[in-house]
Amino acid sequence: MLELRHLSKTYGNGRTVLNDVSWHFKAGEFVAIMGDSGVGKSTLLNLIAGLDTPDASCPADAIMVDGVALASLDDDAATRLRRQRMGFIFQAFHVLPHLTLVQNVALPLLLNDLPTAAASDMLAAVGLGGRDHDFPHQLSGGEMQRVAIARALVHRPALVLADEPTGNLDPDTAHSILELLQREIKATGACAIMVTHANSAAAKSDKILHLSKIGIQETTNVKLFDQ
Ligand SMILES: Nc1ncnc2c1ncn2[C@@H]1O[C@H](COP(=O)(O)OP(=O)(O)OP(=O)(O)O)[C@@H](O)[C@H]1O
């Protein structure tokens, strides 16, 4: 579904963050990425999302989605791929304050010319049934994150990217958000990649990857990592 081949990223200040990272993410997998602070987890997600570009020295097929090299797409095609095939649970893509909950969740459907009726059903699926016309400021942090999850999944993307989806939530709310994310990912059959520092969050995934200076390695031992 997603293949990384010899992916590297050096920022303008000369700091190499990712160096020759390769991995194959399969359809239907819920994968957690852990690793020390500053090792490049968010950078990796941003590259996959197309929000940043790999080093010019990387091979053209450094990031392949469904067998298509991201680098081979022009801006329009890359936007289309992102819109149709990806869902994001990022702080930077936060719920829009001036839109109602149902309007927020309907956005990916509108952008993909799909019927918007599914937005209300998706809100109900994340436990916010009947609150379609509320505005984000009326929600708790956990409820807001439910809206973000509903919006990320409503158009049934093949690839879901989540950056610390439970970062600011209390343990009970985080637990219910992760159960929800896990359930909805399984229901839609998406491949999901979740960056997290929390062992409890990683424990919900099918596979835990450890990102370090030497690249990506699979691990079964979440206790290796700091909370
Ligand atoms: N736009 C940028 N320009 C220069 N350096 C950057 C930029 N963005 C990130 N970095 C640096 O790249 C390194 C990796 O950052 P990144 O946010 O990917 O790490 P992370 O593993 O997600 O960290 P954390 O777990 O603390 O969120 C850090 O040292 C950071 O300072």
For residue 174, what is the domain's CATH number?
A: 3.40.50.300
How many structural domains comprise the chain? 1
Let me know if residue 44 belongs to a domain: no
Range of the domain at 145: 26-38+74-221
Let me know if residue 198 belongs to a domain: yes
Closest CA to 97 of 136, 123, 149, 145: 136
| Separation between Cα atoms, residue 82 and residue 112, nearest integer Å | 11
What is the torsional sign of CA 31, 32, 38, 42?
Answer: positive
Q: Which two tokens stand for residue 108?
A: 């990916």
Let me know if residue 105 belongs to a domain: yes
19-32 pLDDT, tens digit per residue, is: 999 999 999 999 99
172-201 pLDDT, tens digit per residue, is: 888 888 888 888 888 888 899 999 998 888
Q: How far is CA 177 from the centre of its chain?
A: 14
d(CA 177, ligand 1 centre) in Å: 25
Out of 11, 47, 52, mutate this one to test ligand 1's pocket (max ligand atoms within 8 Å of CB): namely: 11
Provide ipTM, 2 decimals: 0.97
Query: Average pLDDT per run of 10 along the chain, which is 227 residues long?
Result: 94 90 93 94 94 92 93 91 91 86 96 94 90 94 88 92 85 84 85 92 92 88 52
d(CA 42, ligand 1 centre) in Å: 7
Let me know if residue 79 belongs to a domain: yes
